[in-house]
Structure formats: structure tokens, C-alpha cells
């Protein structure tokens, strides 16, 4: 005797449902976990303050204050990608969620995309808070000459950055504690080589070019050129070139994440790494 069945979405509708379902905890978390106001806003504000006071002490051009503030706000996205994207599946494995993700028919790629979308929304609030507080504290003024270009720079930077996060997450799918160590290793050096608190051009052509593999390097540089229009001479490359590179990075990272995810899920099933928490 066949019993009544519940209708279930497949294909694109399933992908969409899975993505928003996974984004949901992060979006909701923005408002439920208020401790972030202290840890994820005050601490970056202190870091930015350090640079601002140094720039003022050495009488650097006023635009440098804005550079540090913008960089400080963008650190929130880097931290989010490292700890809530790249390492997330490691935590999820430990928690027992990874098995459910793999077992569910919703594509793992949709789970990753949901993590990215939710992470962007959640981190956007942190970044905005840092930006507002620091701008008010240090009296930063902005001159946005081409707002559409600025929006494009931000969107492409986010796409490339979270695409990289998805790739890291795929690679870390079969990893254990090394995911944690690698995230730790990447955190501070990237602050330096990506020029979070100063124009990356100052590091020289080759270092800046090498650092451009991290999407925030060129993204931040483009946004600085567009926001502080009077000091565009400090930019590393012309804005259209930087945006084109970001677009390429976004496509490459997301595509690579897709293939890596499929391959590493297979390896995980072969080696038992998706379930090793319970063995």
C-alpha cells in the first residue's frame, strides 16, 4: 500500500531552496548574537586607530586616514572568509552537520553559496559599523566620483573573495585540524601583502602583483581610487583593469570550487574522511 508523498523540489528550485536555507542561520545570527558588536567592531576600530595615529604623527596626506578606515572595514570580510567559509566545513564535520549536507539531495555547491551569501550579509553589517564608527571618530570625508563603478568594484570583489572562500572550503572538506592552522597562517600576512591599511603600490610591482591573487588586494585598491578620487595616483593599476582581474578571479575561483567539491567529496567517500569524527 503506497502512502501519500510530499512534493519535493528538484533542479534549480532545490538549489535555490538549499542556498537560502544555508544562508538563513548567518543572516539571523547577525541580530541574535550581539557580542559581535564588541569583538568584531571594537577590535578592528582599535587596529585602524593605530594606523591613523601613525599617519597623523608622520604627517601623511589626509587620504591615508580614509585608506586605513576602508581597509579596516574590509578586514571583516577577510576574517569571515577565513573562519566562516574556508574552515566552516571542518566545524560542520565536527558538529555532525557535514554528514547531513552530503546526505541531503540539495547540492553542496548551493550549501557553499548559501554560506557565502549569508556571510556577506552578516559581515556587511560589521563592515558598515566599522566604517561608520571610524569615519565619525577620525572625521573622514569621501568623494565618490563614479558610484556605479564603486558598486561594481564592491560586488566583483565580494564575488571573487567568496569564490575563493568556496574553493578553500572545498579543499578543506577532507582536511582535519590543518584547516584551522592554515586559516591562522593566512590571517595576518594577508593584512600586510594585500595592503589593508596602506596603498598596496607601496610594496612594489611584483609583491603587489603576487598579492593580487587575494581579491581584496585589487578590490580595495580600486575602491580607494574611486572613493578618494583626488589621490588616485596612489592606485596600483587602472580601475577598469583591476575590475577585469576581479571578474576573472571570481569566475576561476567559483569554477574551481565546483570541480574541487565534486572531486574532494569523492575522495572523502573513498577515505572515510566525511565521517571520521565518529570513527
Q: Which parts of this chain interact with other proteins (CB under 8 A)?
A: 1-3, 5-10, 13-14, 17-18, 20-22, 24-25, 28-29, 32-33, 95-97, 99-106, 111, 269-272, 274-275, 278-279
Instruction: Identify which of residues 56 and 269 has a Cβ nearer to other proteins in the complex.
Output: 269
Shortest distance, position 169 Cβ to other proteins, whole Å: 17
Q: How many CB atoms lie within 10 A of CB 239?
A: 21
Instruction: Identify which of residues 46 and 267 has a Cβ nearer to other proteins in the complex.
Output: 267
Instruction: Identify which of residues 80 and 212 has a Cβ nearer to other proteins in the complex.
Output: 80
Shortest distance, position 26 Cβ to other proteins, whole Å: 9
Whether 71 contacts 196, CB under 8 Å: yes
Shortest distance, position 106 Cβ to other proteins, whole Å: 4
- Residue 106: helix, strand or coil by DSSP? coil
Shortest distance, position 23 Cβ to other proteins, whole Å: 10
H or E stretch at 74: helix 63-81
Instruction: Identify which of residues 33 and 143 has a Cβ nearer to other proteins in the complex.
Output: 33
Shortest distance, position 229 Cβ to other proteins, whole Å: 41
Please give the Cα distance from 167 to 161 (Å, whole number): 10
Measured CA distances, 243 to 70, 129, 239, 240, 270 (Å): 18, 25, 6, 5, 40
Please give the Cα distance from 11 to 98 (Å, whole number): 21
Instruction: Identify which of residues 170 and 217 has a Cβ nearer to other proteins in the complex.
Output: 170
How wide is the angle at C-alpha 190 spanned by C-alphas 189 and 192, nearest 5°? 70
Shortest distance, position 79 Cβ to other proteins, whole Å: 18
Instruction: Identify which of residues 109 and 239 has a Cβ nearer to other proteins in the complex.
Output: 109
Burial class (CB in 10 A: 0-12, 13-18, 19+), 139: exposed
Whether 216 contacts 84, CB under 8 Å: no
Please give the Cα distance from 48 to 65 (Å, whole number): 9
Shortest distance, position 110 Cβ to other proteins, whole Å: 9
Instruction: Identify which of residues 145 and 267 has a Cβ nearer to other proteins in the complex.
Output: 267
For residue 52, how far is the Cα from the chain centroid? 24
Amino acid at each position: 500500500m503506497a502512502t501519500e508523498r510530499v512534493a519535493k523540489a528538484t533542479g534549480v528550485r532545490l538549489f535555490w531552496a538549499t542556498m537560502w536555507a544555508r544562508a538563513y542561520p548567518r543572516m539571523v545570527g547577525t541580530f541574535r548574537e550581539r557580542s559581535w558588536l564588541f569583538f568584531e567592531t571594537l577590535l578592528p576600530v582599535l587596529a585602524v586607530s593605530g594606523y591613523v595615529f601613525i599617519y597623523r604623527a608622520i604627517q601623511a596626506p589626509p587620504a591615508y586616514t580614509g585608506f586605513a578606515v576602508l581597509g579596516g572595514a574590509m578586514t571583516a570580510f577577510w576574517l569571515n572568509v577565513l573562519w566562516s567559509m574556508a574552515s566552516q566545513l571542518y566545524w560542520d564535520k565536527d558538529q555532525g552537520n557535514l554528514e547531513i549536507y552530503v546526505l541531503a539531495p540539495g547540492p553542496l555547491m548551493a550549501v557553499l553559496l548559501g554560506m557565502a551569501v549569508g556571510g556577506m550579509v552578516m559581515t556587511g553589517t560589521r563592515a558598515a559599523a566599522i566604517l561608520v564608527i571610524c569615519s565619525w571618530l577620525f572625521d573622514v570625508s569621501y568623494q565618490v566620483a563614479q558610484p556605479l563603478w564603486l558598486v561594481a568594484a564592491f560586488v566583483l570583489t565580494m564575488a571573487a573573495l567568496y569564490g575563493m572562500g568556496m574553493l578553500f572550503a572545498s579543499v578543506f572538506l577532507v582536511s582535519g585540524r590543518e584547516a584551522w592552522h592554515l586559516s591562522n597562517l593566512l590571517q595576518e600576512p594577508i593584512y600586510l601583502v594585500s595592503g589593508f591599511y596602506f596603498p598596496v603600490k607601496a610594496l612594489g610591482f611584483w609583491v603587489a602583483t603576487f598579492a593580487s591573487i587575494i581579491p581584496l588586494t585589487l578590490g580595495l585598491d580600486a575602491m580607494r581610487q574611486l572613493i578618494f578620487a583626488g589621490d588616485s595616483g596612489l592606485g596600483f593599476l587602472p580601475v577598469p583593469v583591476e575590475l577585469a582581474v576581479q571578474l576573472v578571479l571570481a569566475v576561476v575561483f567559483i569554477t574551481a570550487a565546483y570541480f574541487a567539491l565534486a572531486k574532494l567529496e569523492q575522495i572523502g567517500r573513498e577515505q572515510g574522511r566525511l565521517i571520521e569524527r565518529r570513527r
